Amino acid sequence: MIDKRDPETSRVPGLAYAFTDSGIELPVLDITHPQFVSSIDEDHLDEVSKASIQKMLVMGQMSDAQKRTYYEQLLKSYIFGPVFVRDPGANFMSGMSTYVYKLGPNLIGGGPDREFDRSASRDIGGVAIRMRIRDLCRLQADALIPQLESSPQKSLCFINIAGGAASDSINTLILILKENPTLLRNRKIEINVLDIDTVGPHFALGCLEALKTPAHHLHGLDIAFHHTPHDWQDTDGLVSLLSNKKDCIVVCASEGGLFEYGRDEEIIRNLNVVYDHSPDGTRIAGTIVHDATKVHATVPALAKATNAGLRFLGVSGLTGLLEKTGWRLERVQEKNPVYAVFTLKKDKYRAA
């Protein structure tokens, strides 16, 4: 229950807004908005990279007094404060912490109180996360558009494992609308978030409600949202959800979730469950961290400093896991300094 709401005083034109469970108003992420687009400058990634490495070196040389000041800033951080500072045992960022990272320095808002978060989002980690969601949404849209064109009568079903605020599902819809709005009109659409967290999915629902109002992207569309409390170690909920989706166009995604933190056996089990219980045209979309030889130098250092449970699977590691499933790589992008983004499709030869 929110006792007090903190509305954003400097709204960005063209964006919808929604409140978090804690009463903070944030913009609804739109990866097509100019302020988001301008927060990713791939022509200057080397410069951002060098600055991020230098920043980590400086942090390592801080005096005790400087470290105390830095810790005080962390406490106020929306990105880091609720996770690693207030819960030292946390080994992954919450969905809402990652969401603020995705907004980037132009859209975080909040005035001086969020200057630390704006600064952090300019580092290579923040840029890489924004590249990650941009590219994942593009791959999902590219996989879905031909199916939507060939099956105008079918419902569209998103299944988002550890989906948090469902930003990738929402923005995939925005990309499809930008390309061909007729593909989504008069079509039942549902977004299913499977997550142990409740804060991110609650915010996702607020985002959808805001985007369905007049003058925003999803106005007039038939979109249902469902959150299922779910731990990827137990696939029963996934089986139940897929059981009545045989006549749907299905895309199952996990951004910054299963493939970045799950153990081999958990990834394989989830992949096999989706394979066995989904329609033939189903796609899986996901993100992985590059292996330790390729990932940006700041990431292993940061993971060690924060005790993050991140794994450096890499494309070769993912390919090895796929050999124990019925899936094969359909597309993969590795230009991101931290992440690879991919889609999987069913291997028809294995099925035969």
Q: What is the pLDDT of residue 40?
A: 95
Q: What is the pLDDT of residue 86?
A: 47
Per residue of the chain (352 residues), give pLDDT as tens: 455 787 888 899 999 999 988 888 999 999 999 999 999 998 888 888 787 777 666 666 667 776 667 666 666 666 666 544 445 555 556 778 889 889 999 998 888 878 888 888 898 889 999 999 999 999 999 999 999 999 999 999 999 999 999 999 999 999 999 999 999 999 999 999 999 989 999 999 999 999 999 999 999 999 999 999 999 999 999 999 999 999 999 999 999 999 999 999 999 999 999 999 999 999 999 999 999 899 988 777 766 655 567 789 999 999 999 999 999 999 999 999 999 999 999 987 665 4
Q: Which residue has the tokens 């500072």?
A: 85
All domains of the chain in start order, with CATH:
17-127 (no CATH), 134-351 (3.40.50.150)
181-193 in b/e burial notation, b at 16+ Cβ within 10 A? eebbeebebbbbb
Q: Report d(CA 19, CA 41) in Å as an integer.
A: 29
SS3 (DSSP) at 288: strand
Q: Which residue has the tokens 């400058």?
A: 41
Tell me the whole-structure pTM to 2 decimals: 0.90
* Residue 206, token pair as written in the block: 């607020």
Q: Report d(CA 105, CA 332) in Å as an integer.
A: 28
Q: Answer for the pair 69, 62: CB distance below 8 angstroms, yes or no.
A: no
Q: Which residue has the tokens 């779910």?
A: 230
Q: Report d(CA 199, CA 224) in Å as an integer.
A: 18
Q: What is the pLDDT of residue 84?
A: 41
Q: In sequence order, what are the beta bridge partners of 189?
A: 156, 223
Please report how the helices 64-76 and 115-122 are oriented relative to each other, as an axis angle in degrees rounded to 10. 100
Q: Answer for the pair 103, 204: CB distance below 8 angstroms, yes or no.
A: no
* Residue 315, token pair as written in the block: 């494309």
Q: What is the pLDDT of residue 153?
A: 96
